[in-house]
């Protein structure tokens, strides 16, 4: 499957409650609730399942499972995704975003890749986990499709189109099903264009609990190869 940007990977069905097409949500109220939730947000931990689907040029699917962590302290933000399985096989990988840098640790090949100019994407990385309504509205044109129940959780379904034309080239549309009380996404759908999409679902979400000490740590040894991009 053709490689895609990390920032789309973790943001991968489900039993959905039906909502009449006319039952559009109140966007102003929704964004205000997200502002309130963001003010309380400090950390989040969740299990995730990320399913990638490619229909063109060759049909293909890929499923990744793991745990993701988010931490916000004032203007400081970091996140990590610890992948355990890819298509049912043990393929450990760790993505860490912190201080405007993205690092990918691939233990199976003893390689750590660092993308140094990743800070411009921070608002997209934190989307749905600690982002305020104002932060979403600054980067996205938002359509509030109203309430929908996902895995027994009441959510608000929001369709997002990036205001930045460069982002829209690789990410024409995003749909998030967000728990407004906690300010976290239960499900995220990415339309990546050109016959590719990615859906992330989150479960066992813990808010404002202590995170593991190594949540944002890249473990290396003397054999590790370092690549900077």
pLDDT above 70 (res 20): no
> pLDDT for 57-104, tens place per residue?
889 999 999 999 999 988 788 999 999 999 999 999 999 998 888 999
Reported pTM: 0.84
Separation of alpha carbons 10 and 198, rounded Å? 9
pLDDT above 90 (res 115): no
> pLDDT for 181-218, tens place per residue?
999 999 999 999 989 999 999 999 999 999 999 999 98
Separation of alpha carbons 128 and 205, rounded Å? 13
pLDDT above 60 (res 11): no
Q: Which residues pair with 154 in a beta bridge?
A: 149
Q: Which of 22, 28, 1, 20 is nearest to 12 (CA)?
A: 1
Mean pLDDT of 9-30: 52
Least confident stretch, 7-21, 36-50, 127-141, 182-196 = 7-21
Domains of the chain in sequence order = 6-12+15-209 (2.50.20.10)
Separation of alpha carbons 114 and 118, rounded Å? 9
């Amino acid at each position: 499957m053709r490689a895609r940007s990390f920032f789309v990977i973790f943001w991968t069905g489900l039993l959905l409650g039906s909502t009449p097409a006319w039952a559009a949500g109140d966007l102003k109220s929704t964004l205000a609730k997200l502002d309130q939730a963001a003010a309380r947000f400090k950390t989040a931990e969740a299990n995730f399942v990320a399913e990638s689907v490619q229909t063109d040029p060759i049909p293909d699917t890929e499923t990744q499972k793991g745990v993701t962590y988010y931490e916000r302290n004032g203007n400081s933000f970091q996140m990590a995704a610890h992948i355990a399985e890819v298509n049912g096989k043990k393929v450990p990988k760790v993505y860490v975003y912190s201080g405007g840098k993205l690092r990918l640790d691939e233990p199976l090949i003893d390689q750590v890749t660092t993308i140094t100019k990743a800070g411009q994407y921070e608002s997209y990385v934190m989307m749905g986990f600690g982002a305020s309504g104002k932060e979403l509205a600054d980067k996205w044109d938002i359509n509030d499709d109203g309430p929908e129940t996902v895995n027994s959780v009441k959510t608000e379904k929001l369709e997002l189109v990036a205001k930045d034309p460069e982002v829209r080239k690789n990410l024409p549309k995003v749909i998030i099903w967000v728990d407004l009380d906690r300010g976290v996404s239960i499900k995220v759908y990415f339309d990546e264009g050109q016959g590719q999409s990615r859906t992330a679902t989150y479960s066992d979400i813990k808010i404002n609990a202590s995170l593991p000490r190594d949540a944002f740590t890249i473990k290396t040894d003397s054999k590790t190869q370092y690549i900077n991009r």
